[in-house]
Structure 1
Amino acid sequence: MTLYRQLLLWMLVVLFLLTSTVFAIQFNTTKNYLIEQQSTELNNVVSSVGFALSPYLKTNDFIATESVINATFDSGYYSKVKLTLLDSNKEIIRQYPQIIKNVPNWFKSVVHIDAITQTRTLTNGWLQLAELTVISSPASAYIQLWQATVQLILGFIACLLLGAIVLSLVLNKVLKPLKQIQKSAKEMASNHFTAPLPTPHTRELVDVVTAFNSMNIQLQQHFEQQAQEADTLRVRAYQDPVSGLANRSYLMTKLNSWLTNKPTGGIILLKSDAIEDSYQQAGYELGDPLVLKLAERLKELSADDITIARLNQSEFMLIAPNVSEEDLTDTARVMLSMTSELNLDPLGIAPLQAAAGIVMCSETLTITALLAHADNALNKARQQIKEPLALLEVSANKTIPAIGKQQWNALVDEAIANNLIHFTFQKAIDANNAIIHKEMFAYIKKGQQKFNAGQFLSALEKLNDGAKFDRYIIDTIFNKFTKQTKSVPVAINITQSSINDTGFIRWLNNKLQSCPQMKQHVLFELPEICFIKNIDNTRLLCEIIRQNGFQFGIDNYGHNFSSTGYLNQLRPHYVKLDFAYTSQLDDQVKMDVLESITRSANNLAVMTIASRVETVEQKQKLTLLKVQGFQGYVTEELVNGEMK
């Protein structure tokens, strides 16, 4: 029971006892008064009747005597009147019915008011004439006492209700600082930090609130410092300090991961002569601002699966998996256009001081060979007179079918209409090999051909048409799990274009409201790029997911080198670490970065999950670095025999 309820209850008990005591005293006082009043009236009436009857008794006028008795005792306050003549023993007896109206029987049985009997001898001088006996009727006393009791009860009930309301308001006001402390303490327990509490007027609570505010600020600063340290370590290890893009070390990690997993897509190597000339002529003072200006424009091309890095002073590389030659060429032209903004040429007639080389990837390429081909493509682009752009195809066998964006879109429409979309699932497990959830991967199977989601989702994203695909996936998964009572939760990936589609957000809200039973079966996984580029729409979607009782996670956490401060605001259920942070576990600097990132997330009660975990050894090392979840090839072996 809360302190407020305890105080209110005990105060009401005390108030009830006080009112009950007052009620008992008032009730007894009223009862005694009515009895005393009854006795007084009886004494008065007997005396007055005695004086009235004496002249008639002296003359033995029996008829007049009887008339006086009838007239005097006809009010209903008396139950019996008896007059006995002493000289002749004649008697006049009058009995009146005892009618007590509107008084409950239980009240008469509980409260006893006895009738009063008074006897008086009537005389004339020294001569005794008659004896008068009058017995009162308690009916009037019962009626008056019952009416007084009802009034007392109603009055005391009103007082109790009014007292309860007043006490409730007073306690609410007095205990408001305590409630604020309680609420803030709950928030602090889950590492949510609120604004400082106002100083209360209660002297005893001033010190408590002051100490609490101080502790709240210190903890908040502590977590912010940890997050800043994690960002600082991450920047030192993986980020170029001038441009804010990925550095060469991070790029090599990404290239290695990409080339070892049947690569598709290609790379773009961009070289800016304007930046190189600035460094040679004026040094860092002129060169760094140009690099920063170009980097800010290149970041506009960033996406969840695209990596942009700075190789050296004037060279930049973009890795774009699952992208066709046409799309990669268009992206290279955009990069050249961004580079042209560095030229001091208001008339636009000076030649472009940049070049872009494109290399479509092949399964047989190594990192060294790929970079060599990129240099060759760049040299070839410099020889192009009209446009300094060149595409180099390493292998005659293209890894991506020659399908354009509209053709991919039509294929997806056909797959949705004909149920050609199938699913595979990959388990995420904890340190004890218990399944946390299963991530769902979609693919299209048309005849003998199989198209993974990575091949067509980039086309849908560029057409801002990913919402229809996400709707189909969510409907299918919801229909599948509605028939199951027990199942492992499934993580559904949401595309960036869906997050920016207000129609999809409204549709998802209605879907979640109509299927509350699915909150135990479904999670939503959002790409990190949305938390950087589209934070408002992403915050709205996260709030809708949370309000409906569902949970969400963040994919590719740390990929975009942005501040991780949004974690404290949105509080996802988990973050899936970018592979670059979990792949180099023999490098102490990289391990320190990973441990700092996981510690920051764990402090906010956000689970960290490592992807592409391939060996038990790798899992054990990650466990020591406070990583809580694991996903990859090793999970299938460790949970062998579990439900797939």
Structure 2
Amino acid sequence: MARMQKTLQFPRQRGVITLRSLLLLFAGGLLLLVLVAAISVSFDRFRDYMTDQLRGHSRDGATAIGLSLSNAIDGRDPVAASSLIDAVFDSGRYLSVVYLDNNGEEIAGREASLKEIDVPDWFVSLADLPLPVGEAEVVRGWSRLGKVRVVSHPGRAYEDLWKVTVRTAAGTTLIAAAGLVGLFWTITRLLRPLRAVERQARALGRRDFRRRVDITSTRELNQVTHAMNQMADDLGQLFEGQAKLIQHLRKINNEDSVTGLASRRAFEQRLKVEVESEERAAPGVLLLIQLADFVLYNQTYGREEADRLLVRIAAAIDSFTRQHSDSFAGRLTGAGFGVFLPGVSRADGLIWSRNLVEELDGIYCDLSAPMEVSVHAGIAQAAGNRNVRDLMAAADEALRQAQAEASSACHAADTERHEHYNSETWRTIIEQSIRNNQLSLWLQPMVREGDGEVLFHQVFSRMKTTDGWIKASIYVPMAERFGMIPDIDRWVLEHSLSMLRAQPGIRLAMALGVVSVASDEFRQELLEKLATSGPERQRLQIGISEQAIHHHRVQVGLWVRALNRLQVPVIVDRFGVGGVPFSYLRNLRFQALRIDSSFIHNIDSHEDNRFYLESVTTIAHSRGVRVYVTGVEAESEYSALRGIGIDGAMGYHLGRPFEAGQGGRSQ
């Protein structure tokens, strides 16, 4: 049997081309292609240059002879004209010099052939330089005597072109030969330690991509170390390429190609989660914006200027959303945009929206002058049982009311509808709740896909008011806006550590606010608290939103490394929102990703989001990073997630939040 296996394996391998030979053949072919391309480009450019020189020389010669026949001698005298042409022609710089009368009859002329050119005939045929003709009028006083037709001799041009071509080919061939020699030496050296590549493959199987082996003193070990480190770098680049590809696909499916804002489909998908999802549904304001007379602007200034205008408008809208926590925007139509502000009352939303409309109007007017343009907007409040369709219809109705005005305007719908707290009321409520300790710790289970075992509990706070418990998704955006979220995060951290000390078998995860992550003081304080705590800190996962990582990459990078040294797990929270490239996974050690709920809502009917989630899961697992999803509210969604390979899921369908100390009773 062993002999049969040997017969089947080794003889076949002898006939297979080696990797070194294949790379050399490919590189040689590529260099040959570069050689041909370089010679062709140089040949064509110099050929065009010589053609222009011949054209200019013919034109100048014709002009000079025409002026001589018109002024220096009598052009009506054939003998004198012939003598002049002979003198000019004998210089050897012309192929043909002919003096024609008004009837086209030749008065005098000389012609030569191309046989005396010291260039191979095949090159002459290949180059085939055009022979431009230069003409000039011959006049005497007010009488036209005829014209001179001159063709420059291309002999010198052919010779110069031949020399340039030969030198270019020789130089390029020399460089290509040196490159092949260098490539052969490099490939031979890099492919020598094949057994080390096998060891590196085993290390990669253990998901050890970042660790580099120290250089040893022996020659053999140095070769092994070099090969392993090279492989690690190559796989790191491969991961980065895959990440960029998946990010590009996500942009194609979820981002507007011109403005970079969310596409209409992605905006409506996320809006559904914010408005209709039981888990995240919270009061807020939807703002619809429309640039008036954009079609006329496009026709007047062109598509490029119209796109430039849209980019400027989108940048202003994006800056506006960054000032309001958890808000997001998208491009809905050609010149129509949508913005959602969670946790905002209609009165506050109307004030902020009018300020935004005023800013957009200034941008639009500056770029469209002297056209008379305007910006219209309509807002509607998301509250109660209003679904996305009703909310969009109400905002659209307000937009139509604003468009009835000649100038820029912003109108609000449903002025008689009960309004949520305004910003000052929110500020007072949050300050009193923090001061009077009217916060409560709530838990929601993250279950493992398959057996439903609880992996950990997500912790967050709820606020007790006279109207009852207020979910974090409602007041956290306002707390972020007022800069009070660090106080809430401190409260959650203290109570989470106390709970971990009291219950050794439980694991928790908490998500930090963007303002908290951006604060140097808070980051340092959190590290100090975790450092002084006991081993329970290893059972607390710290969640950092992807946008906070993107906007504070250096600070977060140092902070994550400090948390790693304390053996505190770190999770990327709200992964996928905002289109941030996730190449940071290559350099920072995160234990898990938590996919934003907007990708999970109705995933059973959203193939693009399912493909994106599958791709992200594959890449994350290749880095040893777990993938969790949130916002699972229906059995159909959970069924669609099965088979993707996620590590855990959370949502009202799998387990509703409950107050800590209530024994897991759902609320």
TM range (shorter): 0.5 to 0.7
1:516–1:581 Cα change, 3 Å: same
Bigger Cα Rg: 1
User: SS of the counterpart of 1:313?
Assistant: coil
Q: Is the 8 A contact 2:531 2:566 kept in 1?
A: yes
Match of 1:605 in 2: 624
* Contact 2:357/2:408 (8 A) holds in 1: no
Name the CA shift for 1:355/1:419 in 2 (closer, same or farther; >3 Å).
same
Structure 1 371/194 Cα, relative in aligned 2: closer, same or farther at 3 Å?
same
CA distance in 1, matches of 2:282, 2:318: 23
Q: Please report how far the alpha carbon of residue 347 of structure 1 lies from its aligned counterpart in structure 2 after TM superposition.
A: 13
Alignment of 1:307 with 2:307, yes or no, is: no
Q: Cα distance 1:273–1:186, how it changes in 2: closer, same or farther (>3 A)?
A: farther
Does residue 245 of structure 1 match 2:261?
Answer: yes
Q: Does 1:217 align with 2:233?
A: yes
- Correspondence 1:571 to 2:589: yes
1:218-233 matches, cutoff 5 A = 218-233=234-249
Q: CA 1:209/1:476 → structure 2, altered by over 3 Å: closer, same or farther?
A: closer
Describe the superposition over 1:256-307 as per-residue Cα deviations: whole angstroms up to 9, x where unpaired.
2233235411111111237544433344322222222222332222466222
Tell me the distance in 2 between the aligned counterparts of 1:269 and 1:366.
16
The alpha-carbon distance between structure 1 residues 191 and 226, as it changes in their structure 2 partners (threshold 3 A), is farther
Residue 581 of structure 2 corresponds to residue 560 of structure 1: no
Change in Cα spacing, 1:380 to 1:468, as seen in structure 2 (3 Å) is same
**CA apart distance, 1:417:** 3.1
In structure 2, distance between residues paired with 1:496 and 1:392: 31
Question: Structure 2: how far apart are the matches of 1:310 and 1:505?
Answer: 36
Give 2:458's aligned residue.
439
Separation in structure 2 between the aligned mates of residue 274 and residue 552 of structure 1, nearest angstrom: 49
SS across alignment from 1:252: helix
- Deviation per CA, 1:166-225, whole angstroms, max 9, x where unpaired? xxxxxxxxxxxx99x999996894354478x89877432354244324422331232122
After TM superposition, the structure 1 = structure 2 runs for residues 422-433 of structure 1, keeping only pairs within 5 Å, are 422-431=440-449, 432-433=451-452
User: Is the 8 Å Cα contact of residues 237 and 593 (structure 1) preserved in structure 2?
Assistant: no
Residue by residue over 1:312-370, the C-alpha shift from the partner in whole angstroms, topping out at 9 and shown as x without a partner, is 11111011221122432243234324423533639999866212211112333333332
Fraction of identical pairs, as percent? 20
C-alpha separation between the residues in 1 aligned to 2:443 and 2:512? 16
Comparing 245-254 with 416-425, which one deviates more in the overlay? Answer: 416-425
Aligned to 1:392: 413
1:555–1:576: 8 Å Cα contact kept in structure 2?
A: yes
1:199, 1:593 → 2: CA distance? 40
Q: State the match for 2:396 in structure 1.
A: 375
SS of match in other structure, 1:591: helix
Task: After TM superposition, list the pairs within 5 Å mapping 1:36-51 onto structure 2.
Answer: none
Shift of 1:409: 3.0
Q: Secondary structure at the match of 1:633?
A: coil
Q: What secondary structure does 2:437 align onto?
A: coil
Residue 559 to residue 346, structure 1, CA distance change in 2 (3 Å): closer
Residue of 466, 469, 475 corresponding to 2:485: 466
2:546 alignment counterpart: 528
Equivalent AA in structure 2 for residue 606 of structure 1: V
The residue aligned with 2:306 is 287
> Residue deviations 1:481-515, cap 9 Å, x none?
3233322x121221111112222112111101110
Count of aligned positions: 460
**Aligned match of 2:643:** 624
Q: Post-superposition shift, 1:631?
A: 0.3
Residue 554 of structure 1: SS of its match in structure 2? Answer: strand
AA at the equivalent of 2:374: Q
Cα deviations across residues 603-622 of structure 1 (Å, max 9, x unaligned)?
22221111121344432421
Query: Deviation string for 1:76-106 (max 9, x for gaps)?
Result: xxxxxxxxxxxxxxxxxxxxxxxxxxxxxxx
Could you tell me which residue of structure 2 aligns to residue 84 of structure 1?
none
* Structure 2 segments unaligned to the other structure (5+ residues): 1-194
Q: What code does the residue aligned with 2:651 have?
A: G
Aligned match of 1:504 in 522, 538, 548?
522
Mapped contact 1:516–1:549 kept (Cα < 8 A): no
Deviation at 1:548, TM superposition (A): 1.8
- Structure 2 distance, partners of 1:417, 1:565, is 41
Partner of 1:633: 652
2:341 is matched with which residue?
Answer: 320
How far 1:246 moved relative to its partner? 0.9
CA distance in 2, matches of 1:625, 1:184: 25
The amino acid across from 2:266 in the alignment is Y
CA 1:185/1:635 → structure 2, altered by over 3 Å: closer, same or farther?
Answer: same
Provide TM-score, normalisation by structure 2.
0.62
Distance verdict in 2 for CA 1:472–1:251, change over 3 Å: same
- Other structure's SS at 2:364 match: coil
Q: Residue 363 of structure 2 aligns to a residue in which SS? A: coil
Distance (whole Å) between structure 1 residues aligned to residue 215 and residue 494 of structure 2: 51
Displacement of 1:475 in angstroms is: 1.6
The match for 1:168 is none
1:239-268: per-residue Cα shift (whole Å, max 9, x none)? 111111111111221232233235411111
Indicate the residue corresponding to 1:478 in structure 2.
497
Q: Is 1:614 the equivalent of 2:630?
A: no
TM-score (ref. length: structure 1): 0.65
Output the amino acid matched with 2:231: M
> How is 1:273-284 mapped onto 2 (pairs within 5 angstroms)?
273=292, 275-284=294-303
Instruction: Compute the displacement of 1:544 (Å).
Output: 3.1
CA contact (8 A) 1:187 1:193 kept: no
Do the aligned residues in 2 keep the contact of 1:491 with 1:525 (CA within 8 Å)?
A: yes
Residue in structure 2 matched with residue 588 of structure 1 by the alignment = 607
Structure 1 gap segments, 5+ residues each? 1-177
Q: Cα 1:461–1:351, aligned 2, differ >3 Å: closer, same or farther? A: farther
Cα distance in 1 between the residues matched to 2:627 and 2:297: 43
Secondary structure of the residue aligned to 2:377 is: strand
1:331, 1:276 → 2: CA distance? 27
Contact 1:191-1:603 within 8 A present in 2 as well: no
User: 1:190 is matched with which residue?
Assistant: 207
Match runs of 1:109-120 below 5 Å = none
Distance 1:563 1:350 in 2: 39
Identify the residue that residue 386 of structure 2 maps to in structure 1: 365
The worse-fitting range, judged by mean Cα deviation, of 429-438 and 342-351 is 342-351
Report SS of the residue matched to 2:430. Answer: helix
Checking the alignment, whether the CA contact within 8 Å between 1:274 and 1:343 is kept in structure 2 is no
> Over aligned residues, Cα RMSD in angstroms?
3.4
Letter in 1 for 2:392: L
In 2, the alpha carbon distance for the partners of 1:340 and 1:306 equals 21
Deviation at 1:632, TM superposition (A): 0.8
Deviations 1:370-401 (A, max 9, x none): 22222221122234577511111276223x23
User: What is the SS of the residue equivalent to 2:543?
Assistant: strand
